[in-house]
Structure 1
C-alpha cells in the first residue's frame, strides 16, 4: 500500500542517493530498488539483506538462503508482475543484462533509474528495455 505522500518521499529518496557510489550490500541495484519501495510504502523489503554481503555472489547466496534464485525472483515474490509498458512511477523494473544477469531499477515515467557498478551514481535506461516490471 502506497503512503499518501509517496510521490514526494520517492523524489526525496532519489535525490538523496543520486550520487551515492555503487556498493554491494549497501547500495546496489536490488537495495536501491528496495529503498524506493520503502520510500513509497514505509516498508523495506530487503531489511534482512542489507549489510550481509559485499559481492554479487554473496548477495545471491543470501537470496538462496531465503529460497530465491536471484533478486528478480525475490521481487516477483513480493509484487504483482505487470508488462513493462504498464509500469508506473515507483514500480520496480527488471532489466536483462545478458548471460542470465539482471538488474533492478525504479520506474520514473518513460525511463528507469538504475545503478551500475561502472558508473558513479545512477543512470537511466528506456522503460521498454525492461524484461519485467512489478507493481509497488
Structure 2
C-alpha cells in the first residue's frame, strides 16, 4: 500500500475523530481505529467487509477467526511487514497486550508514542512505545 501525499493530515483527522468517540465495538475500537488510519492514509482497506460486521468482543473475535486470524496481531501481520516497535513511525500500527484479558489490541503510532482505544475510558488513550509488543509498517 502506498500512502497518499496528504497522509499526515489524514492521520491527524482520523485520530481526532476517534478521540471524540467513546469506545464502541464495531464503531470505535482497537481494530477500527488502526483500520480507519490505514484507509485514510492509503485509500485502501486490507479486509473489506469487516465494518459493521460485529457489535461485541465475541463478535469481533469470531470475525477474525472466520478470516483465519487468531487475533489482531495475526491480521496486521498478514497485510503489513513487521518492524521492531522501536522503529515504528507515524502511521504505523502496533499491538499491545490487553491487561485484563488474554487478547491483544491494535494501536496507531503518532510519533513518539501510540494511541488506541479502551472500553473503560472516553476517547483515545496514549500508549508508551515500551508497551508495544509488535509493530507493522503501513
Gaps of at least 5 residues in structure 1 are none
Q: Which has the higher strand share?
A: 1
Aligned length: 136
User: CA RMSD of the aligned region, Å?
Assistant: 1.2
Residues 85-124 of structure 1: matches in 2 within 5 Å? 85-98=86-99, 99-124=101-126
Equivalence for 2:72? 71
For the 8 Å contact 1:31–1:46, the answer to whether it is kept is no
Equivalence for 1:56? 57
Gaps of at least 5 residues in structure 2 are none
For the 8 Å contact 1:92–1:134, the answer to whether it is kept is yes
Q: TM-score, normalised by structure 2?
A: 0.93
Deviations 1:24-72 (A, max 9, x none): 1121110110000011101122431111111111111111111111111
Residues 28-67 of structure 1: matches in 2 within 5 Å? 28-67=29-68
